[in-house]
Structure 1
Amino acid sequence: MHPARPTLRCLDEDLGLPLPSVTQPLDEIDHPLLGKAAAQFSDAEGKHERIRSIDDAVLFKVKVQRWRGAVWIDAGLPWLVAAGQREDGSSDDFYAVLEAGGKAARARYNAAHADGLKTSTSSSHLLPTRADHVRYRAEAGVRFARRLRATIQELITATLRDGREHTSDFDSFTLGLQVRADHGHETYAAVRITGSVPANLATVILGNIPGCDADGWYPEYALPERDLLPAEQAWSNLMDPRAAAMILNAEA
């Protein structure tokens, strides 16, 4: 199950929160209801309580403190589509407002369409829109960049310890790194990518290798201990030994 996230409408109108930069995924926003939704819907096999007053879509309850919310799940992605406060016995109670809004939306739809809805409510106005999906895809790029930087750091640390090649598998390619010192003064860095990746991704990977001149990368046709594999590309460079020492010292 993916982390629970709010729709843009819910974030603005219901939670009253500003839209953060795309570098902050919406599922990472610090809010009690979002934190509860993330925990409650982290297990794809978990049991959840349905909001019975809404009959045109399957919405689930999420509760924390006085906050109440409605979660809709789309292909394993939980969306917080509505939020409000508990006001027991009041028309302002979240569930009362949600039901009234659903019935009003259904009435508006039926007034404008000859083939009216047979359900008691309409909640389509709450569900994710194209803008929500555009934002989600943009955040996917941010998540990938984070993972790539963290993986590069882990691989460099591992190879600096033993001088051997270390690899990590991504969805469509495998990244391998090898860093080793020659004669105690030159530090040789080799990067290899197996699989199909766009040229700009290779540039991003090379640009994230610390201690290496961005213009110092040269294509290789063999790695130190083996020939290149099919669908594999490789580059080499010299790494500043001071950068290598800083990485190892940070891990000590």
Structure 2
Amino acid sequence: MLTDKVCLVTGGAQGIGRCIVETFANQNAKHIFVCDMNLGAMADLEQQFPNVTALELNVCDRKHVSETITKIAEKYGTIDVLVNNAGITRDNLIENMTENDWDLVIDVNLKGVFNMTQAIAPLMMAAGSGSIITMSSVVGTDGNIGQTNYAATKAGVIAMTKSWSKEFSRKGAKVRANCVAPGFIETPMTVDLPEKVIDHMVTKTPLKRMGVAKDIANGVLFLASDNSSFITGQTLKIDGGLVI
């Protein structure tokens, strides 16, 4: 499904991002650049897949982002698929949320997505095609107690994506932009949640289970591939029916 495509995935050291990289690699992508601040955690991906290159990258560092994308473009000409997956949480009720916790989440989850897309979208437009997939969340569409900062960023990327779907398709360029909004997913971020919290969320989910990273990766693969060539500006919820 991804033959001849050059892909870049941020936040790919663990969890959903890592599963996306593995899925892309198994779908014979020409090359996948997996970017994260934890370079050591990505070493085995390079060993396992000859079409994967790990890069240490802070999506908030605009200069480093620009330099990294320039080097990739010099070798491959363009990047066909960008997956904006890097993100963090700093949850708290609003009366207890610090300015630093607000700023950090906004910087990584919103500005980081902007930085990566701003650097890569012109390459896609020049090439005439490309697919940008950004991780949102059901929290971004429906909100959640204690996640004012996170919800703001995940709603923000949906709005940016809708704008990009219009902006990047100008002059005949077939550059698509979509979001994926996961629901309650088994990841390293949820492994330490109390059992009663997990049971509550599973009970609220019509399909009566937590999602797994592969559920999300399969949705991202679809949006990255030419099978979704007539889909842009959309948010794909993968949540087992949690938010309907």
Using the size of structure 2 for normalisation, the TM-score is 0.22
| Larger strand percent | 1
Using the size of structure 1 for normalisation, the TM-score is 0.21
Which of structures 1 and 2 has the larger relative contact order (alpha carbons within 8 angstroms, sep 6+)? 2
| Larger helix percent | 2
* Larger Rg belongs to: 1
